[in-house]
Amino acid sequence: MDVKPINYELTFEPDLKKFTFLGTETITVSCKKTTNLISMDCAEIKIKSCTVKSGSKIVKSTPKTDEKKERLSIRLGEKIKGKATIHLEFQGILNDRLLGFYRSQYKQGGKTKYLATTQFEAADARRAFPCWDEPEAKATYEISIIAENKFTAISNMPVVSKKKLKNKTLYKFGKTPVVSTYLIYLGVGEFEYLTGKAGKVQIRVVTTKGNKSKGKYSLDLGKKLLNSYEKYFGIKYPLPKLDLIAIPVFAAGAMENWGAITFRETILLYDPKTSSTRTKQFIAEVISHEIAHQWFGNLVTMKWWNDLWLNESFATFMATKFVDKFYPEWNLWDQFIEDAMNTAMGLDALKTTHPIDVTVNSPAEIREIFDAISYDKGGCVLRMLEHYVGEKNFRAGLKKYLSTFKYGNAKGQDLWDAIGKASNMPVSSMVNTWLKQPGFPQIDISQKNNDLVIKQNRFLMEPTKQTQKGLWHVPITYGLGKETKTKLLTKKSMTVKAPKGPGFVANIGRTGFYRVKYDDGILLDLKMLVDQKQIPPVDRWAIQNDLFALCVAGKEDVENYLDFSDAYFEEDSYLPQTNVANNLNFLSLLTFFEDYTEQIRSYAINYFRKILSNLGWTPQKTDKHTDAFMRGFAIFALGKLGDEHVLEQAQKKFKEFLKNPSSLHPDIREPVFSLVAWTGNAKTHSQLVSLYKKAKTTEEKDRKSTRLNSSHLVISYAVFCLKK
């Protein structure tokens, strides 16, 4: 970059009646080479004036914008070099497209209101001010906002001064550390706050008026997480404040703007009276994810967008790790495996998948890689890497990486090098086999006398000779109890000594991102061990999960899976129980038109009835956290399978709810509304519309709006149950 920004002085004056904003900007730049042309990113902005100074000399300048290329070119009357300043005055649009500097609409007391907010990732800061809109162009920022007196202004840093200007107020914010454009934040609205402290750092939950009481859970959790991340990374949080801001209309789930994290309202505000167990958990995971970014992403930033996957998958991985520390009873790692790993493997088993690490030529291509491969598979690979090198070495390498590159930019390879050095293990060569090629391996294990023959091939739903290729460095863990071993498989096959004892499990704890196919003799031993619960829950889950995937891929018979699943009829652990339930439900839907559909349907109904019989319809104080998920899924699945008793109960509970809303627990409202909508008529539709209009929270509106169109019901709730 021949012209590099050093500091931006920015003043914004938004107009929430005309939906426009005025801006002034002074950029201090460094020109490495002699030039008479300065070019930067700029979109949907009208330049009103432009002045360029080289030293104390004003240089003649002619600005020209190219809307198609989203560029501002400033032609200079003479060549300059070294330090210079560019002063711009401009006008922009507070758009309604939820990107750049935009307006967010909401209702309050029957009135329509607006606030101004920003979403700059990946490359939309250029819609708010001319800039070098890429991660490596870090600079400091001095931001001011002029707002009407009824509004409050927010940015990345605390307010250092406020000045009255008739019916408006000028807010001046502190100077930021060096930061990338996509992490800058501007907010103007009728806000209220809940405030607390984590050490010397001020933490606020920011909401629209009337909602701050719902921010208590998020504030308390935010304080705990900030302190915990500081200790884990060994680096103090770099800013003096952290705002968690609830935005009524927001496209993403949340955004990690440095010191001013924005959230969709439903992912920050929690009401114990109306919010579900799932909502509480989701809020915790997202807050943890965004706070992890304050170090990994904000303090140390990727050089270019091809490493976005590392940014996001690392935050996903860390979010689970830290929320699990605070809420071990939630079994978050079990849920991570059931959700993230299953989702990623489902997508990665297709011929249309892509590698984790892909070339990104322009920010416009970024949305194409925001998928389960970037987030979920990436998170699984990091989990596999941590288990391979050990938690202590993983953390040591991470701390070294962050301290070396803080306030700068780094590549993924820099992290692998740091962890490899800390562990003295071949991290780079191992991890790159998982990043640079698509797919994942199937590990075939067969026993010959006292030896195990282990082979790897790519796992695919529809394999061909062209797509079958692939060779991974696979950490193979195998054994049972305390007798376990780890070998790194780097070739197509290897032979190892079989463990002694009645049987063994491979891919212990399902830490590796691969599927295992056992020979018939090993599988028979495993069925007995599963039935007797002599294998940990995660491994009981993994054995049948792999077997089911092999059935779907046509590599095993469905009859074999059903026979093996008999060992899970008395299962009482969430992870294997929910997965067997999911698989049986899937089979009953998949085989709907087959001759043997009634046999599978009956099998599935019996399994779900046993779950619901054990849990009951009414949540109890003694319930485990995950019981809420199983109960809702069992009710919904039984209703969809045509269980008359469940359908009658759903109707009965819905009628009671219409008379007394508190009679129906938030955790079972979703399945009850779903079944009522599915079996309902025009009157039911009217009732649901009325409930939607009367709902006081966004969460309640979301819960009811997804039920209004019963034709979309199966897809929406199946996704809700399987993905969350």
Task: Provide the annotated active-site residues.
Answer: 290
Give bridge partners of residue 703 from the DSSP assignment: none
Q: What residue type is 690 in one-letter code?
A: S
260-264/241-247 β-pairing? parallel
Cα dihedral value 701, 707, 708, 711, nearest 10: 150
Within 10 Å of residue 422's Cβ, how many Cβ atoms?
A: 21
Q: Which residues contact 113 (CB under 8 A, 6 or more apart)?
A: 105, 106, 107, 190, 208
By CB atoms closer than 10 A (0-12, 13-18, 19+), residue 227 is middle
Measure the N-to-C terminal CA separation of the chain; round to a whole number of Å.
43
The Cα 417–Cα 145 span in angstroms is 43
Q: What residue type is 636 in one-letter code?
A: F
Residue in the block written with tokens 């599988």: 523
For residue 426, what is the DSSP state?
-
User: With b meaning 16 or more CB within 10 Å and e meaning fewer, what string describes 559-585?
Assistant: eebbebbebbeebebbbbbbbbbbbbb
Residue 158 tokens, joined:
């605390």
Residue in the block written with tokens 């559909």: 597
| Residue 522 DSSP SS3 | helix
Give bridge partners of residue 518 from the DSSP assignment: 445
DSSP string for residues in 588-623 = HHHTTTSTTHHHHHHHHHHHHHHHHHHH-SS--TT-
Element (H, E) at 371: none
Within 10 Å of residue 447's Cβ, how many Cβ atoms?
A: 15
Q: Which residues contact 104 (CB under 8 A, 6 or more apart)?
A: 98, 114, 115, 116, 117, 189, 247, 248, 249, 250
User: With b meaning 16 or more CB within 10 Å and e meaning fewer, what string describes 180-214?
Assistant: bbbbbbbbbbbbbebeeebeebebbbbbbeebbeb
